[in-house]
Amino acid sequence: MIEQTHVLAVLKTVQDPYLHNNLIETKAIRELKIKGGDFVSLKIALAKINTAEQMQLQQEIVSKLKENGAGSVGLRFEALSDKEIQERGGLDEEKPALLQRKSKTTFISVASGKGGVGKSTVSVNLACALQRLGKKVGILDADIYGFSVPDMMGIENRPCVEEKKSIVPVERFGIKVISMGFFVEDNSPVIWRGPMLGKMLNNFFSEVDWGDLDYLILDLPPGTGDIAMDVHSILPHSKEIIVTTPHPTAAFVAARAGAMAIKTNHEILGVIENMAYFQSKLTGEKEYVFGQGGGEKLSDILQTDLLGKVPLQQPDEKTGVFAPGVF
């Protein structure tokens, strides 16, 4: 004797071999009938049919159902449509290795509502901090109009191309870096429309040999424009840090970037308040140049943590090392 709830519980433990989600999550059950109390008839839709993986899955389903009370099992299979496959996340083999489900890379996007709040400063120093902890780290400077990571890290050389035509990112301080700044001459303005920029962003994932990364930090463009939307669609499972200054207006605008992260199911790690204050080396007194309270206000709006407050200061100069954005 077996009931429908038992059948569904079993199917929840069986994964589509190509979508890597269980058959309930992929909405694979086209038909489920139980006859005579122990005969289970199923029609199941898979990303690919008539494969060795389908045969293995068939054996797994029959075995598990019989263990749970089924006397006999009848199975039929059909293929999910291309639209259904895309709605369920697409096939891994169509994605760059970095974006496949089996990838162990954690993506951390650094976003803001407006420019000039220190988003790139946070991105660069977060990457350096993780590298100092022994992690394998990369930075993707996705702020395609306002790229600044190469300059902040003191990078003067450019990526090279291997024989297999993949782009090798520039490495600095043990961090792999790719930026639009590597592909323009003499700090020229980027005068491209959205679709061209979106294609370039895709190339940064598909044609760059990132290797085995623990973390990829994405320095997003400010606001909620085309490029930010493209990043959110390419990376459905990214974590996100929102950067603001203490000024109430900056916090108000940054809330939009946070709302976009929430709507696209990104996990907000918290808020960084940059340029929180200036502390005099002579007197030790703090001057709140841009006001106070922006970080707290933004974290309250987004119902997340205020991770820290970064003071307004000059980078420490290191003899022989030019990296004005690295503290």
CA 57/CA 313 separation, integer angstroms: 60
CA 74/CA 66 separation, integer angstroms: 12
Torsion of CA 228, 100, 80, 67, to 10 degrees: -130
Shared-domain flag, residues 114 and 81? no
Question: Please, what is the end-to-end C-alpha distance for the chain in angstroms?
Answer: 67
Q: Residue with structure tokens 């008539």?
A: 50
Q: For residue 16, give the CATH number of its domain.
A: 3.30.300.130
Lookup: tokens for 102: 């089996």
Mean pLDDT of 116-122: 90
**Assigned domain for 325 exists:** no
Q: DSSP letter string over 267-291?
A: EEEEEEEES--EE-TTT--EE-TT-
Shared-domain flag, residues 139 and 13? no
Lookup: tokens for 101: 């489900």
How many structural domains are present in the chain? 2
DSSP reduced 3-state for 298: helix
Strand partners, 215: 106, 137
Shared-domain flag, residues 292 and 179? yes
Confidence of residue 288 (pLDDT cuts 50, 70, 90): very high
Cα 297 off chain centre by: 25
- Residue 54 belongs to domain spanning: 4-92
Q: Tally helices (H) and strands (E) across the chain.
A: 9, 15
Total-model pTM: 0.70
Helix 226-234 and helix 248-263: axis angle, to 10°?
40
Q: For residue 156, give the CATH number of its domain.
A: 3.40.50.300
Shared-domain flag, residues 173 and 279? yes
pLDDT at 190 over 80: no
Lookup: tokens for 91: 């096939």
Per residue in 252-261, pLDDT tens?
A: 888 888 888 8
Confidence of residue 78 (pLDDT cuts 50, 70, 90): very high
CA 17/CA 54 separation, integer angstroms: 8
Per residue in 52-64, pLDDT tens?
A: 888 889 999 999 9
Burial class (CB in 10 A: 0-12, 13-18, 19+), 261: buried
